[in-house]
Amino acid sequence: MSSKQLVFTVPDECDGMTARVFLRRRCGVSARILTQLKREKDGILRNGQLLKTIDILRSGDLIVLNLPEDKSEIVPVKGELDILYEDENILAVNKPAFMPVHPTKVHQLDTLANIVSYRQNKTGESFVFRAVNRLDRNTSGIILIAKDKFTSTALSNSVEKTYLAVCEGELEKCGTIDVPIMLSPDSKIKRIADQNGSPAVTHFEPVFSNGTHTLIKLRLETGRTHQIRCHMSYLGYPLAGDDLYGGSLDLINRQALHCGYTSFIHPITEERIEIKSPIPKDFVSAFPWIDEVV
């Protein structure tokens, strides 16, 4: 089976480290991946030669990890992808509203994963679909997809995201909602703010209000299901179009929530990558003033 290579150069400050310490602490390679690589032929190489994790590294050494190729089992379905960023390790796409990210019993052939699988067949790539972040079916915006296990692990819990939303009412001040969230006893879907729930922290910042609605930016410290929707409803400013949490469907037919910005340190190049997604068309149609303030 063919493999995918990850390449690292040992910097001066890591001279004298063992390979294990360098790969785990400096490069962020998980213990599970290292264990797997030890079982692979030529799994870990230094300057073209087999490397043991107990070996001492020298400045300038070229370390190559040959990750076994993993193949997606998701059914490929033809569709359009709005690609915002791509390299050998990461694919970032702008997910439209009403598209699920992963296949489920109800949605098996109409998901983002199906379309990515189709594209893999066209480009000759082969990787398991690993979404670094998740969005509700009706939420639009940036989805990061890791093309290998290492990148998926390295990016988990380290990606900064900013959401744009339109809430009902006139919200004037910035603030933080630090209230636990739990599944409502009366629903299999809806969340409620409750002290018995899991910790959830949402930061919000008003951008512009027309008197009846407010465009806000949001940043999450935690990633609970429906966190923004639940917290804004708890605050008394439900998202427009979010009838599950008290919002009106008069102007838009889905929760007015969009993941518009993300940034992260690339796990291989160590560069800061910033990705932006344009305001969705249904936002502008429902709230024409958005075009003038964003």
Active site amino acids:
136
Question: Residue 79 in contact with residue 122, Cβ under 8 Å?
Answer: no
Calpha distance 264→109 (Å, rounded): 30
Which has the closest alpha carbon to 179: 158, 196, 159, 163?
196
Query: Ramachandran region of residue 236, left (φ > 0), alpha (ψ -120 to 50) or beta?
Result: left
**β-sheet bridge partners, residue 49:** 46
Distance from C-alpha of 149 to C-alpha of 65, rounded to nearest angstrom: 12
Is residue 245 within 8 A of residue 254, CB to CB? The reply is: no
DSSP one-letter string for 21-38: HIIIIIS---HHHHHHHH
In a 13 Å sphere around the CA of 255, the CA atoms on its Cβ side amount to 28
Beta bridge partners of 264: 273
Q: Which own/partner pairs from 284-288 qualify as long-range (CB within 8 Å, at least 24 positions apart)?
A: 285/252, 286/166, 286/240, 286/241, 286/251, 286/252, 286/256, 287/166, 287/210, 287/213, 287/215, 287/240, 287/251, 287/252, 287/256
Q: Strand pairing of 140-146 and 201-209? A: unpaired
